[in-house]
Amino acid sequence: MSFSITTAGRARRLAAAALVTAAAMGSLVGCSSSSSASDGPTTISLSMQNPDVKTADPATWAIIQAFEKANPNVKVEVTGEAVAEHLQKLSIAAQSDTLPDVFWVYKSNAEDMLKGGKLMNLSPVLSELGLSDKFPKSTVSNFTSGDAIYGVPYQGLLTGLWYNKKILQDNGLQVPVTFDDLLAVAKKLKEKGITTISNGANQSAFSVWSFLTDLDRFGYADKIDGILNSTGSFNNADFLRLYQHIAELRDAGAFASNVSTQTYQQAVDQFTSGKAAMLDAGVWGSSAIQKSSVAGNVGFWAGPQFKDGVGNQNIIMNVASAPLVVSAKVSKDNAKLAAVKKFIAFYYGDEAQQMLVDNGQPPVTTYKPKVDPSSQSALRAALDAASAPGVSSPESQPDLLVSTPVANAMYDSIYGVIQNQLTPQQAVDLVQAAVQSK
Protein backbone atom coordinates (compact mmCIF):
# COMPACT_ATOMS: atom_id res chain seq x y z
CA MET A 1 0.00 0.00 0.00
CA SER A 2 2.68 2.42 1.07
CA PHE A 3 4.53 1.48 -2.14
CA SER A 4 1.57 2.52 -4.27
CA ILE A 5 1.16 5.78 -2.35
CA THR A 6 4.84 6.56 -2.86
CA THR A 7 4.57 5.74 -6.52
CA ALA A 8 1.50 7.91 -6.92
CA GLY A 9 3.27 10.73 -5.10
CA ARG A 10 6.25 10.40 -7.40
CA ALA A 11 3.98 10.42 -10.41
CA ARG A 12 2.30 13.60 -9.16
CA ARG A 13 5.67 15.24 -8.57
CA LEU A 14 6.82 14.22 -12.03
CA ALA A 15 3.63 15.54 -13.57
CA ALA A 16 3.98 18.81 -11.64
CA ALA A 17 7.62 19.13 -12.77
CA ALA A 18 6.60 18.49 -16.36
CA LEU A 19 3.87 21.14 -16.12
CA VAL A 20 6.29 23.67 -14.63
CA THR A 21 8.82 22.90 -17.39
CA ALA A 22 6.14 23.19 -20.06
CA ALA A 23 4.93 26.47 -18.57
CA ALA A 24 8.49 27.81 -18.47
CA MET A 25 9.08 26.80 -22.08
CA GLY A 26 5.73 28.28 -23.04
CA SER A 27 6.67 31.58 -21.48
CA LEU A 28 9.99 31.52 -23.32
CA VAL A 29 8.22 30.84 -26.60
CA GLY A 30 5.79 33.60 -25.74
CA CYS A 31 8.70 35.98 -25.12
CA SER A 32 10.31 35.17 -28.46
CA SER A 33 7.13 35.54 -30.45
CA SER A 34 6.16 38.75 -28.76
CA SER A 35 9.55 40.32 -29.57
CA SER A 36 8.73 40.69 -33.20
CA ALA A 37 5.27 42.00 -32.44
CA SER A 38 6.45 44.62 -29.95
CA ASP A 39 7.39 48.18 -30.84
CA GLY A 40 11.11 47.32 -30.85
CA PRO A 41 13.14 46.36 -33.89
CA THR A 42 11.76 43.55 -36.02
CA THR A 43 14.17 40.65 -36.33
CA ILE A 44 14.37 38.61 -39.50
CA SER A 45 16.42 35.45 -39.58
CA LEU A 46 18.73 34.80 -42.52
CA SER A 47 20.22 31.33 -42.82
CA MET A 48 23.14 30.81 -45.20
CA GLN A 49 25.31 27.99 -46.52
CA ASN A 50 28.57 29.29 -45.03
CA PRO A 51 29.71 28.52 -41.47
CA ASP A 52 31.08 32.04 -41.09
CA VAL A 53 29.23 34.50 -43.29
CA LYS A 54 31.37 37.44 -42.18
CA THR A 55 34.61 36.00 -43.51
CA ALA A 56 33.45 33.45 -46.09
CA ASP A 57 30.83 35.65 -47.74
CA PRO A 58 31.94 39.26 -47.20
CA ALA A 59 29.59 40.56 -49.92
CA THR A 60 26.47 39.35 -48.10
CA TRP A 61 27.90 40.50 -44.78
CA ALA A 62 28.55 44.00 -46.14
CA ILE A 63 25.01 44.22 -47.51
CA ILE A 64 23.52 43.15 -44.17
CA GLN A 65 25.57 45.75 -42.28
CA ALA A 66 24.56 48.50 -44.67
CA PHE A 67 20.93 47.38 -44.57
CA GLU A 68 20.80 47.46 -40.76
CA LYS A 69 22.36 50.91 -40.77
CA ALA A 70 19.80 52.17 -43.25
CA ASN A 71 16.94 50.40 -41.43
CA PRO A 72 17.54 50.67 -37.68
CA ASN A 73 14.13 49.13 -36.96
CA VAL A 74 15.07 45.86 -38.61
CA LYS A 75 17.67 43.47 -37.30
CA VAL A 76 19.00 40.64 -39.47
CA GLU A 77 19.98 37.60 -37.45
CA VAL A 78 22.47 35.73 -39.62
CA THR A 79 23.34 32.08 -39.11
CA GLY A 80 25.24 29.71 -41.33
CA GLU A 81 26.56 26.18 -41.67
CA ALA A 82 28.39 24.24 -44.35
CA VAL A 83 26.06 23.20 -47.18
CA ALA A 84 25.25 19.65 -45.98
CA GLU A 85 24.62 20.76 -42.38
CA HIS A 86 22.64 23.77 -43.61
CA LEU A 87 20.35 21.53 -45.70
CA GLN A 88 19.98 19.09 -42.82
CA LYS A 89 18.97 21.94 -40.54
CA LEU A 90 16.45 23.18 -43.09
CA SER A 91 15.01 19.69 -43.44
CA ILE A 92 14.40 19.47 -39.69
CA ALA A 93 13.04 23.03 -39.61
CA ALA A 94 10.68 22.31 -42.50
CA GLN A 95 9.21 19.36 -40.62
CA SER A 96 8.78 21.33 -37.40
CA ASP A 97 7.52 24.42 -39.23
CA THR A 98 10.38 26.54 -37.90
CA LEU A 99 12.08 27.55 -41.14
CA PRO A 100 14.15 30.73 -41.01
CA ASP A 101 12.53 33.79 -42.56
CA VAL A 102 14.96 34.05 -45.47
CA PHE A 103 17.38 31.32 -46.47
CA TRP A 104 19.65 29.91 -49.16
CA VAL A 105 18.61 26.56 -50.59
CA TYR A 106 19.16 24.50 -53.74
CA LYS A 107 16.66 25.10 -56.52
CA SER A 108 15.43 21.47 -56.50
CA ASN A 109 14.84 21.62 -52.71
CA ALA A 110 13.10 24.95 -53.06
CA GLU A 111 10.69 23.45 -55.58
CA ASP A 112 9.91 20.59 -53.16
CA MET A 113 9.32 23.11 -50.38
CA LEU A 114 7.06 25.19 -52.60
CA LYS A 115 4.96 22.11 -53.33
CA GLY A 116 4.68 21.52 -49.59
CA GLY A 117 3.46 25.08 -49.03
CA LYS A 118 6.57 26.05 -47.09
CA LEU A 119 7.66 28.97 -49.28
CA MET A 120 6.18 32.33 -50.03
CA ASN A 121 5.25 33.29 -53.58
CA LEU A 122 7.44 36.33 -54.17
CA SER A 123 5.75 37.38 -57.38
CA PRO A 124 3.48 40.05 -55.78
CA VAL A 125 6.38 41.34 -53.65
CA LEU A 126 8.69 41.72 -56.65
CA SER A 127 5.96 43.53 -58.60
CA GLU A 128 5.22 45.82 -55.65
CA LEU A 129 8.91 46.65 -55.25
CA GLY A 130 9.37 47.18 -58.98
CA LEU A 131 12.07 44.51 -59.12
CA SER A 132 10.57 42.17 -61.71
CA ASP A 133 12.25 43.99 -64.58
CA LYS A 134 15.57 44.41 -62.75
CA PHE A 135 16.41 40.71 -63.06
CA PRO A 136 17.43 39.05 -66.32
CA LYS A 137 14.46 37.16 -67.75
CA SER A 138 16.30 33.83 -67.46
CA THR A 139 16.76 34.42 -63.72
CA VAL A 140 13.06 34.94 -63.15
CA SER A 141 12.06 31.95 -65.30
CA ASN A 142 14.65 29.82 -63.50
CA PHE A 143 13.01 30.46 -60.14
CA THR A 144 9.42 30.20 -61.35
CA SER A 145 7.19 27.20 -60.84
CA GLY A 146 3.68 27.50 -62.26
CA ASP A 147 2.55 31.01 -61.42
CA ALA A 148 4.80 31.37 -58.40
CA ILE A 149 8.22 32.97 -58.19
CA TYR A 150 9.73 31.17 -55.23
CA GLY A 151 13.21 32.64 -55.13
CA VAL A 152 15.46 35.57 -55.85
CA PRO A 153 19.10 35.18 -56.94
CA TYR A 154 21.57 35.00 -54.08
CA GLN A 155 24.65 35.77 -56.14
CA GLY A 156 25.82 35.47 -59.72
CA LEU A 157 27.47 32.35 -61.04
CA LEU A 158 30.01 33.55 -63.58
CA THR A 159 32.35 30.62 -64.07
CA GLY A 160 35.23 29.62 -66.30
CA LEU A 161 38.98 29.24 -66.25
CA TRP A 162 41.24 31.85 -64.70
CA TYR A 163 44.57 31.80 -66.50
CA ASN A 164 48.06 33.04 -65.74
CA LYS A 165 49.24 35.08 -68.74
CA LYS A 166 52.86 34.96 -67.61
CA ILE A 167 53.04 31.17 -67.49
CA LEU A 168 51.57 30.97 -70.98
CA GLN A 169 53.90 33.66 -72.35
CA ASP A 170 57.00 32.22 -70.67
CA ASN A 171 56.29 28.93 -72.44
CA GLY A 172 55.56 30.51 -75.81
CA LEU A 173 51.86 29.75 -75.60
CA GLN A 174 48.78 31.74 -76.57
CA VAL A 175 45.51 31.81 -74.64
CA PRO A 176 43.65 28.82 -76.11
CA VAL A 177 40.40 29.24 -77.98
CA THR A 178 39.49 25.71 -79.06
CA PHE A 179 39.77 22.39 -77.29
CA ASP A 180 42.66 21.42 -79.58
CA ASP A 181 44.48 24.57 -78.47
CA LEU A 182 43.89 23.62 -74.84
CA LEU A 183 45.17 20.12 -75.46
CA ALA A 184 48.33 21.51 -77.06
CA VAL A 185 48.84 23.83 -74.07
CA ALA A 186 48.45 20.88 -71.66
CA LYS A 187 51.01 18.78 -73.53
CA LYS A 188 53.54 21.61 -73.63
CA LEU A 189 53.11 22.50 -69.95
CA LYS A 190 53.30 18.85 -68.93
CA GLU A 191 56.77 18.70 -70.47
CA LYS A 192 57.73 21.61 -68.21
CA GLY A 193 56.16 20.00 -65.13
CA ILE A 194 53.46 22.67 -64.84
CA THR A 195 49.84 21.83 -64.03
CA THR A 196 47.54 23.21 -66.71
CA ILE A 197 44.17 23.14 -64.90
CA SER A 198 44.21 23.30 -61.13
CA ASN A 199 41.27 21.72 -59.35
CA GLY A 200 40.70 19.64 -56.25
CA ALA A 201 38.25 16.81 -55.64
CA ASN A 202 38.77 16.26 -51.91
CA GLN A 203 35.70 17.57 -50.04
CA SER A 204 34.86 19.67 -53.09
CA ALA A 205 33.61 17.27 -55.75
CA PHE A 206 31.43 20.09 -57.08
CA SER A 207 34.46 22.09 -58.29
CA VAL A 208 34.06 21.19 -61.96
CA TRP A 209 32.43 24.40 -63.16
CA SER A 210 34.19 24.73 -66.52
CA PHE A 211 33.26 21.15 -67.44
CA LEU A 212 29.63 21.82 -66.56
CA THR A 213 29.74 24.67 -69.10
CA ASP A 214 31.24 22.19 -71.57
CA LEU A 215 28.11 20.06 -71.16
CA ASP A 216 26.19 23.02 -72.55
CA ARG A 217 28.61 23.04 -75.49
CA PHE A 218 27.35 19.53 -76.22
CA GLY A 219 23.66 20.41 -76.20
CA TYR A 220 22.78 19.95 -72.52
CA ALA A 221 20.11 22.66 -72.47
CA ASP A 222 18.22 21.02 -75.32
CA LYS A 223 18.63 17.51 -73.98
CA ILE A 224 17.99 17.78 -70.26
CA ASP A 225 14.18 17.78 -70.34
CA GLY A 226 14.22 14.60 -72.41
CA ILE A 227 16.78 13.01 -70.09
CA LEU A 228 14.65 13.78 -67.04
CA ASN A 229 11.39 12.58 -68.58
CA SER A 230 13.04 9.40 -69.92
CA THR A 231 12.62 10.21 -73.61
CA GLY A 232 16.37 10.82 -73.76
CA SER A 233 19.44 9.57 -71.97
CA PHE A 234 22.56 11.07 -70.42
CA ASN A 235 24.29 8.18 -72.12
CA ASN A 236 24.24 9.76 -75.57
CA ALA A 237 26.87 10.14 -78.27
CA ASP A 238 27.33 13.88 -77.71
CA PHE A 239 28.01 13.71 -73.98
CA LEU A 240 30.18 10.65 -74.50
CA ARG A 241 32.37 12.71 -76.87
CA LEU A 242 32.76 15.38 -74.20
CA TYR A 243 33.89 12.82 -71.61
CA GLN A 244 36.33 11.41 -74.18
CA HIS A 245 37.77 14.91 -74.50
CA ILE A 246 38.13 15.14 -70.72
CA ALA A 247 40.03 11.82 -70.87
CA GLU A 248 42.26 13.28 -73.60
CA LEU A 249 43.05 16.23 -71.32
CA ARG A 250 43.84 13.84 -68.47
CA ASP A 251 46.12 11.77 -70.69
CA ALA A 252 47.87 14.95 -71.80
CA GLY A 253 48.72 15.60 -68.13
CA ALA A 254 46.49 18.63 -67.73
CA PHE A 255 45.59 17.96 -64.09
CA ALA A 256 47.55 17.89 -60.84
CA SER A 257 48.78 14.43 -59.83
CA ASN A 258 47.17 14.88 -56.40
CA VAL A 259 43.81 16.03 -57.70
CA SER A 260 42.15 13.29 -55.57
CA THR A 261 43.53 14.50 -52.26
CA GLN A 262 43.73 18.20 -53.04
CA THR A 263 40.88 20.41 -51.83
CA TYR A 264 39.41 23.27 -53.85
CA GLN A 265 41.18 25.74 -51.56
CA GLN A 266 44.51 24.04 -52.24
CA ALA A 267 43.77 24.25 -55.94
CA VAL A 268 43.22 27.98 -55.56
CA ASP A 269 46.49 28.25 -53.64
CA GLN A 270 48.26 26.31 -56.39
CA PHE A 271 47.07 28.85 -58.96
CA THR A 272 47.61 31.99 -56.88
CA SER A 273 51.14 30.89 -56.04
CA GLY A 274 51.93 30.63 -59.77
CA LYS A 275 52.20 26.83 -59.86
CA ALA A 276 49.32 26.22 -62.26
CA ALA A 277 48.43 27.90 -65.53
CA MET A 278 44.66 27.79 -65.04
CA LEU A 279 42.12 27.51 -62.25
CA ASP A 280 38.68 26.00 -62.70
CA ALA A 281 36.52 28.38 -60.66
CA GLY A 282 34.31 31.41 -60.91
CA VAL A 283 34.16 35.09 -60.29
CA TRP A 284 34.10 34.51 -56.51
CA GLY A 285 37.78 33.65 -56.85
CA SER A 286 38.64 37.18 -57.94
CA SER A 287 39.19 38.47 -54.40
CA ALA A 288 41.77 35.79 -53.56
CA ILE A 289 43.45 36.22 -56.94
CA GLN A 290 43.51 40.00 -56.56
CA LYS A 291 45.34 39.68 -53.24
CA SER A 292 47.92 37.27 -54.67
CA SER A 293 51.20 37.83 -56.48
CA VAL A 294 49.70 36.71 -59.82
CA ALA A 295 46.98 39.41 -59.78
CA GLY A 296 48.55 41.54 -62.51
CA ASN A 297 48.92 38.59 -64.87
CA VAL A 298 45.49 37.03 -64.72
CA GLY A 299 42.82 36.70 -67.37
CA PHE A 300 39.48 34.93 -67.48
CA TRP A 301 38.57 32.44 -70.21
CA ALA A 302 35.06 31.15 -70.91
CA GLY A 303 36.44 27.72 -71.79
CA PRO A 304 37.22 25.79 -74.97
CA GLN A 305 35.11 25.68 -78.10
CA PHE A 306 34.69 22.21 -79.58
CA LYS A 307 34.69 21.57 -83.31
CA ASP A 308 32.58 18.46 -82.62
CA GLY A 309 30.34 20.25 -80.11
CA VAL A 310 26.62 20.81 -80.47
CA GLY A 311 25.11 24.26 -81.00
CA ASN A 312 26.59 27.59 -80.02
CA GLN A 313 30.16 27.26 -78.78
CA ASN A 314 30.70 30.91 -77.90
CA ILE A 315 29.09 30.72 -74.49
CA ILE A 316 30.04 31.64 -70.95
CA MET A 317 28.30 30.50 -67.78
CA ASN A 318 26.84 33.71 -66.35
CA VAL A 319 23.69 32.73 -64.49
CA ALA A 320 22.04 33.07 -61.11
CA SER A 321 23.25 30.68 -58.44
CA ALA A 322 20.93 28.90 -56.04
CA PRO A 323 18.13 31.15 -54.78
CA LEU A 324 17.30 32.98 -51.59
CA VAL A 325 13.78 32.03 -50.58
CA VAL A 326 11.29 33.29 -48.00
CA SER A 327 9.38 31.10 -45.56
CA ALA A 328 5.61 31.03 -46.10
CA LYS A 329 5.17 31.94 -42.44
CA VAL A 330 6.54 35.43 -43.12
CA SER A 331 3.41 36.34 -45.09
CA LYS A 332 1.32 35.76 -41.93
CA ASP A 333 3.30 38.25 -39.83
CA ASN A 334 2.85 41.82 -41.05
CA ALA A 335 5.88 43.20 -39.24
CA LYS A 336 8.13 40.50 -40.62
CA LEU A 337 6.68 40.79 -44.08
CA ALA A 338 7.38 44.51 -44.12
CA ALA A 339 10.93 43.89 -42.87
CA VAL A 340 11.59 41.18 -45.47
CA LYS A 341 10.28 43.46 -48.23
CA LYS A 342 12.68 46.17 -47.08
CA PHE A 343 15.52 43.66 -47.09
CA ILE A 344 14.73 42.43 -50.59
CA ALA A 345 14.36 45.99 -51.88
CA PHE A 346 17.75 46.86 -50.38
CA TYR A 347 19.54 43.67 -51.52
CA TYR A 348 18.58 44.25 -55.15
CA GLY A 349 19.02 48.01 -55.06
CA ASP A 350 21.98 49.61 -56.81
CA GLU A 351 23.87 50.34 -53.58
CA ALA A 352 23.89 46.68 -52.55
CA GLN A 353 24.67 45.49 -56.06
CA GLN A 354 27.73 47.74 -56.06
CA MET A 355 28.68 46.17 -52.70
CA LEU A 356 28.56 42.77 -54.37
CA VAL A 357 30.96 44.07 -57.00
CA ASP A 358 33.20 45.69 -54.40
CA ASN A 359 33.48 42.25 -52.80
CA GLY A 360 34.36 40.43 -55.98
CA GLN A 361 30.88 39.36 -57.10
CA PRO A 362 29.02 40.28 -60.27
CA PRO A 363 25.70 42.07 -59.88
CA VAL A 364 22.60 39.87 -60.13
CA THR A 365 20.39 42.63 -61.48
CA THR A 366 20.77 44.64 -64.66
CA TYR A 367 22.81 47.23 -62.70
CA LYS A 368 25.95 48.44 -64.50
CA PRO A 369 28.67 48.32 -61.85
CA LYS A 370 31.66 50.56 -61.31
CA VAL A 371 34.82 48.47 -61.40
CA ASP A 372 38.25 49.88 -60.69
CA PRO A 373 40.50 48.54 -63.47
CA SER A 374 43.61 48.36 -61.31
CA SER A 375 42.45 47.29 -57.85
CA GLN A 376 39.77 44.98 -59.33
CA SER A 377 41.62 43.81 -62.43
CA ALA A 378 40.66 40.15 -61.92
CA LEU A 379 36.97 40.92 -61.55
CA ARG A 380 37.20 43.28 -64.53
CA ALA A 381 38.66 40.45 -66.62
CA ALA A 382 35.74 38.15 -65.71
CA LEU A 383 33.11 40.80 -66.37
CA ASP A 384 34.77 41.66 -69.69
CA ALA A 385 34.72 38.00 -70.70
CA ALA A 386 31.01 37.86 -69.86
CA SER A 387 30.23 40.89 -71.98
CA ALA A 388 32.54 40.10 -74.91
CA PRO A 389 30.97 40.61 -78.34
CA GLY A 390 28.93 37.63 -79.49
CA VAL A 391 29.13 35.70 -76.24
CA SER A 392 25.92 34.41 -74.67
CA SER A 393 25.03 32.45 -71.56
CA PRO A 394 22.92 29.36 -70.97
CA GLU A 395 19.87 29.97 -68.78
CA SER A 396 21.16 27.85 -65.95
CA GLN A 397 24.18 25.83 -64.89
CA PRO A 398 23.52 22.14 -65.70
CA ASP A 399 23.71 20.87 -62.11
CA LEU A 400 21.09 23.39 -60.98
CA LEU A 401 18.49 21.85 -63.29
CA VAL A 402 18.56 18.40 -61.71
CA SER A 403 18.06 16.86 -58.29
CA THR A 404 20.93 16.76 -55.79
CA PRO A 405 21.77 13.05 -56.35
CA VAL A 406 21.94 13.58 -60.12
CA ALA A 407 24.08 16.69 -59.67
CA ASN A 408 26.43 14.72 -57.41
CA ALA A 409 26.60 11.95 -60.00
CA MET A 410 27.58 14.57 -62.60
CA TYR A 411 30.42 15.79 -60.40
CA ASP A 412 31.53 12.20 -59.77
CA SER A 413 31.41 11.41 -63.47
CA ILE A 414 33.66 14.33 -64.38
CA TYR A 415 36.15 13.81 -61.57
CA GLY A 416 35.98 10.06 -62.21
CA VAL A 417 37.39 10.59 -65.70
CA ILE A 418 39.86 13.25 -64.55
CA GLN A 419 41.19 10.83 -61.91
CA ASN A 420 41.19 7.91 -64.34
CA GLN A 421 38.73 5.96 -62.21
CA LEU A 422 35.97 5.87 -64.81
CA THR A 423 36.01 5.43 -68.56
CA PRO A 424 33.94 7.97 -70.50
CA GLN A 425 31.29 5.29 -71.02
CA GLN A 426 31.18 4.45 -67.29
CA ALA A 427 30.94 8.16 -66.53
CA VAL A 428 27.82 8.76 -68.63
CA ASP A 429 26.33 5.50 -67.35
CA LEU A 430 26.86 6.67 -63.76
CA VAL A 431 24.84 9.83 -64.33
CA GLN A 432 22.14 7.98 -66.25
CA ALA A 433 21.84 5.49 -63.37
CA ALA A 434 21.33 8.40 -60.95
CA VAL A 435 18.66 9.85 -63.24
CA GLN A 436 16.85 6.51 -63.33
CA SER A 437 17.13 5.97 -59.58
CA LYS A 438 13.90 7.63 -58.51
Partner 1 sequence: MIAPALILFTLFLVYPVIYSLGFSFTKFQGFGSPEFIGLQNYISLGQDPFFWRALQNTVIILIVSIVLLVPGSFALALLLRRKVPGGGALRALVFGPAIIAPILVGLIWVFILDPKIGLLNRLLGFVGVAPVQWIGGDTLTPYAVALVFIWGSIGFAMTIFYAGRQVLPEDVMEASELDGATGFQQLRYVTIPMMRETFAIVTILMITSVFKIFELVYMLTGGGPVHRSETLVSYMYFTTFTNQKYGLGMALAVIITVLGAVVSVAYLALSRERKTA
Q: Find all residues with CB under 8 Å of 412, minimum gap 6, and list them.
A: 205, 422, 430
What pairing do the DSSP bridges indicate for beta strands 42-48 and 74-80?
parallel
Return the C-alpha torsion angle 28, 33, 37, 42, nearest 10: 100
Closer to partner 1 by Cβ: residue 59 or 434: 434
Residue 116 CB, nearest distance to partner 1 (Å)?
A: 5
**Angle CA(211)–CA(213)–CA(214) in degrees, nearest 5?**
60
Closer to partner 1 by Cβ: residue 117 or 389: 117
The secondary structure of 158-214, three-state, reads EEEEEEEHHHHHHCCCCCCCEHHHHHHHHHHHHHCCCEEEECCCCCCCCCCHHHHHH
- Interface ranges with partner 1 (CB under 8 A): 84-85, 87-88, 90-91, 94, 109, 112-113, 115-116, 118, 201-205, 256-258, 260-263, 403-405, 408, 412, 415-416, 419, 421-422, 437-438
- Give Cα 135 distance to the centre of its chain: 17
Contact status, residue 348 vs residue 365, Cβ threshold 8 Å: yes
Residue 82 CB, nearest distance to partner 1 (Å)?
A: 10
How far apart, in whole angstroms, are the C-alpha atoms of residue 89 and residue 81?
Answer: 9
Residue 195 CB, nearest distance to partner 1 (Å)?
A: 10
Closer to partner 1 by Cβ: residue 375 or 420: 420
Q: What is the C-alpha end-to-end distance of the chain, expressed in Å? A: 61
Closer to partner 1 by Cβ: residue 65 or 436: 436
Q: Find all residues with CB under 8 Å of 175, minimum gap 6, and list them.
A: 163, 165, 168, 299, 301
Strand positions, DSSP E, 316-423: 317-320, 323-326
What backbone phi and psi angles, to 5 degrees, belong to 258? Answer: -105, 35
Residue 340 CB, nearest distance to partner 1 (Å)?
A: 21
Closer to partner 1 by Cβ: residue 204 or 235: 204
Residue 328 CB, nearest distance to partner 1 (Å)?
A: 13
How far apart, in whole angstroms, are the C-alpha atoms of residue 48 and residue 87?
Answer: 10
Closer to partner 1 by Cβ: residue 107 or 342: 107
Residue 11 CB, nearest distance to partner 1 (Å)?
A: 11
What pairing do the DSSP bridges indicate for beta strands 148-149 and 144-145?
antiparallel
Residue 406 CB, nearest distance to partner 1 (Å)?
A: 10
Closer to partner 1 by Cβ: residue 312 or 408: 408
How far apart, in whole angstroms, are the C-alpha atoms of residue 166 and residue 301?
Answer: 15
Closer to partner 1 by Cβ: residue 360 or 416: 416
Closer to partner 1 by Cβ: residue 331 or 408: 408
What pairing do the DSSP bridges indicate for beta strands 156-164 and 317-320?
antiparallel
Residue 409 CB, nearest distance to partner 1 (Å)?
A: 9
Nearest Cα residue to 179 out of 245, 228, 267: 245
Residue 174 CB, nearest distance to partner 1 (Å)?
A: 28
